[in-house]
Amino acid sequence: MEFKFTPEQDVFREEVRSFLKQELPEGWGSRPGSLSEENHEFGQEFLKRLAPKKWIAPAWPQEYGGLGLGLWEQVVFNEEMSYQRAPLLNFAATGYLGPTIMMYGTDEQKAEHLPGITSNHVQWCQGYSEPESGSDLASLQTKAVQDGDDFVINGQKIWTSQAHYADWMFLLARTDPDAPKHKGISYFLIDMKSPGISVRPLINMAGEDGFNEVFFENVRVPRSGLLGELNRGWYIATTTLDFERSSSSGYPTSLRTLEELTKFTKETKSNGKHLIQEPLVRRQIADLWVDLNILRFLSYRVVSLQSQKLVPNYEASIVKVFNSELGQKLAMAGLHMLGLYGQLEPESKYARLFGQFGRSYVTSVGLTIAAGTSEIQRSIIATRGLGLPRG
């Protein structure tokens, strides 16, 4: 394998960089993003500038609002966007719901939902986790009962990112309570304006309200909202999770952060010498750079499989574990190297590196839980990747 991009892909990378330099405010990429209302509004404006270029999902087919670019061009695009910390909202739709609809949706569902995503007219959220169904997602209890041409949904979802902004939700609900837990689940596409839906914010440790809990009380969903076959939703959901865990944006995000931390240790003195001269700091920085490059090539392996029309499974779990644990490792290392100043809020004039490590330290706690815990991922790797028996 040639570990480099083609000249055409390099030209595309420069085009994306030039666009970002022009469209993002000066100094935007130097500051960590947050889930503030102001940043969300800017993100919506930013996506409106991407839509005419068909850059919201450039690898999607042209009939659905993409450019039909190859997967490696999508990688180039994702790397530049993530490196500059561009506000790519609605990634649940572009990154994993849209491809799932392309695989399992009817022609009518594709025509109804996909153009709205690439035009940025419709925002989506994911309704998977429940208060008693997180790692064991298949034990979910939200019910959908068929009533004529509709399904009536009752239950609750939790940790639903961006539900307070979403127009639609893709949701798992139990449609056969007597079937084994993996075989009685269906996959629904639900209009969030439907009567009976209520959304309540959940504040995380960083004081942000990106998460929500969502309640469903006799919510009616037409049969056209059923994606794929009745009671086969679990298998569709695992495809969505594979797309989610396959994201190639983790590497460039950590790359930018590690570059900033490395520069800080080279420029900042403690006890008369630069931090990078401290043996412990130097070893930590070196280890992080090694891990980062491992993540890069693990991510490229997943893309290589996708380019061969294969759906990565345990390979995606490997990326997910490594990416989420590297994010926590990087946050902890940065907080320690910055010392007490690293704990200050971004608004403080004494905060170092814009307070990003104090914030990432608390927000990274959930990285090894979201999209399936590290324990679940390791179980997938063991059974499906290594062929080990189930414990």
Average pLDDT, the chain: 90
Residue 37 has pLDDT above 90, yes or no: no
pLDDT at 33: 58
pTM of model > 0.95: no
Over the stretch 221-259, which tens digit does the pLDDT of each residue have? 999 999 999 999 999 998 887 777 666 678 999 999 999
Confidence band of 1 (pLDDT split at 50, 70, 90): low
Helices (H) and strands (E) counted in the chain, each on its own, are 12, 10
The domains of the chain are located at: 7-89, 124-230, 246-385
Residue 352 has pLDDT above 60, yes or no: yes
* Contact (CB, 8 A) for 176 and 231: yes
Determine if residue 214 is left, alpha or beta; phi over 0 gives left, psi from -120 to 50 gives alpha, anything else beta: beta
Same fold, 124-230 and 246-385: no
Among candidate residues 14, 244, 259, 267, the one labeled active-site is 244
Q: How far is CA 242 from its chain centroid? A: 11
Task: Specify the fold of 124-230.
Answer: Butyryl-CoA Dehydrogenase, subunit A; domain 2 (2.40.110)
pLDDT at 34: 55
Instruction: Give the separation between CA 231 and CA 298, rounded to whole angstroms.
Output: 34
Instruction: Give the separation between CA 22 and CA 18, rounded to whole angstroms.
Output: 6
CATH no. of 7-89: 1.10.540.10
pLDDT at 31: 66
Phi and psi at residue 136, to the nearest 5° = -90, 70
Decide if 45 is catalytic: no
Over the stretch 156-180, which tens digit does the pLDDT of each residue have? 999 999 899 999 999 999 999 999 9
Average pLDDT over residues 201-212: 83
Tell me, what DSSP letter sits at residue 344?
S
Instruction: Give the separation between CA 83 and CA 102, rounded to whole angstroms.
Output: 28
Right CATH number for 246-385 from 1.20.140.10, 2.40.30.170, 3.40.1160.10, 3.40.630.30? Answer: 1.20.140.10
Residue 328 has pLDDT above 90, yes or no: yes
Nearest to 243 by CA among 166, 167, 157, 320: 320
